[in-house]
Amino acid sequence: MIRIEAVSKKYPSGVFGVKDLSFTIPSGVLGLLGPNGAGKTTLMQMMATITNPSSGQIFFQDVDIARNPEFVRRRLGYLPQDFGVYDNLTAAEFLNYFAALKGVHNRTKINEMLELVNLHTVAKRTVGGFSGGMKQRLGIAQALINDPDLLIVDEPTAGLDPEERVRFRNILSDIGHSKLVILSTHIVSDIESIATEIAILKHGQLAAFGTPEILLQAAIGKVWECVVSSTEFEGMRSKMKISSAIRRPDGVHIRLVHSDSPVQGAISAEPNLEDTFLYWMNYAGFAA
């Protein structure tokens, strides 16, 4: 279980990366959603003990991680954003290095991890020649190598092809049954399919927190579909949050988020997570 209590991170410039954040998640997969600069990475770095909160506390299994970072580090798997590799090491050597740093000395574990991320056939190749997706998979393998109780992954599916993304989502989902997984992503569908809880961050603050069903409920009656002319569409585009627009011979088919019916003839639609995200970002306040 991870418990965040009134956590803030203030930069020397006076800007808050994260402000007064509080929530608790027992286990499962927590998806962090938010635009760039919302504070997702800062929050994850604090949970990964890389940086300390300016105020507030983070508890993992009731242990204050700022006071006892070793406790969480022993149980943590972490994959940072824009993760790089040592080009001159082979995939196996790279994993072996991080295994040693994490105190894992079971060599079969390295092969297991390489198989899990589908890199076992290139285990002896130097990673400098790997594609972006292969490097990302290697990063995922290092995060999982110590069987972590808490897995924090920042934009883990960036650079993966659709098949690998599905494969990785399934891995996270499996881990989330017994452990706690926290992931951030811009790809809403990644979170939609595996997150048991979602936190939406806006300007460093919590805009919404809850299960996908609860968040979706809030957007019911706020999502609309209609067909408009190109001229009408241009006018609406600047005023409303449009989640999709397809030009067809009979006009522009749009789906948008709005508090009430935007035009005559608009039909209320069932919200998906993407609509919900737009709703929370643009029409709702902050979570209590």
Partner 1 sequence: MSETLLRIAAITNADVRIRFRKASTAAIFLLLCIAAYLWIPDPSTGRALLQMNEQRALYNSPALAMATASLCNILLGLVGYYMVSNSIARDTRTRTGFIIASTNVRNWQYLAGIFFGNLVFLTVVVFGFMVSSMVMQLVRGEAPIDFASFLWHYMILVPPMVVFVSAISVLFESIRWLSGRFGDLLYFFVWMFVLAFVAITAEKAVEKPWTANFDTFSFAFMLHHVKLITHSNAIAIGSSNFDTTKPPFIFPGLHLTASWIYARISSTLYPLVFVPAALLFFNRFNPLKVKSSQIGNKRSLLARGNALIRPVTVPLFSLTGSFSSKPSMMHAVVSEVFLTLQLYPLTIFLFAGFFAASLISSSAGLQQKVLPVIFVAVALILSDLATREKRSGTTNMIESMPLLKPNFVWWKLFAACTLVLLFTTVPFVRLLIHHPSSALSLLIGSIFLASCATALGIASGNPKTFIVSFLMFLYVVVNDGGKTPGFDFAGWFGVATPAVQIQYVILTIIMTAVSFVVYWWQQKNR
Position among 105, 213, 250, 264 found at the interface with partner 1 (CB under 8 A): 105
Q: How far apart are CA 247 and CA 253, in angstroms?
A: 6
Q: How far apart are CA 29 and CA 171, in angstroms?
A: 11
184 binds partner 1 (CB under 8 A): no
C-beta closer to partner 1: residue 10 or 237: 10
Position among 6, 37, 51, 229 found at the interface with partner 1 (CB under 8 A): 51
Q: How far apart are CA 173 and CA 3, in angstroms?
A: 21
Q: How far apart are CA 114 and CA 129, in angstroms?
A: 16
Q: Tell me the closest approach of the beta carbon of residue 99 to partner 1, in angstroms.
A: 8
Position among 97, 131, 170, 285 found at the interface with partner 1 (CB under 8 A): 97
Q: How far apart are CA 14 and CA 238, in angstroms?
A: 32
C-beta closer to partner 1: residue 70 or 234: 70
How many residues sit close enough to partner 1 to count as binding (CB under 8 A)? 36
Q: How far apart are CA 88 and CA 106, in angstroms?
A: 23
DSSP notation for 120-159 = GGGTTSBGGG--HHHHHHHHHHHHHTT--SEEEEESTTTT
Q: Find the part of the chain contacting partner 1 (CB under 8 A) among 94-102, 183-191, 215-223, 241-249.
A: 94-102
Q: Tell me the closest approach of the beta carbon of residue 61 to partner 1, in angstroms.
A: 15
Site for partner 1 in 61-90 (CB under 8 A): 70, 73-74, 76, 78-86, 88-89
DSSP 39: S
Residue ranges that bind partner 1, judged by CB under 8 A: 11-12, 42, 45, 48-51, 70, 73-74, 76, 78-86, 88-89, 93, 96-98, 100-103, 105, 126, 142-143, 152
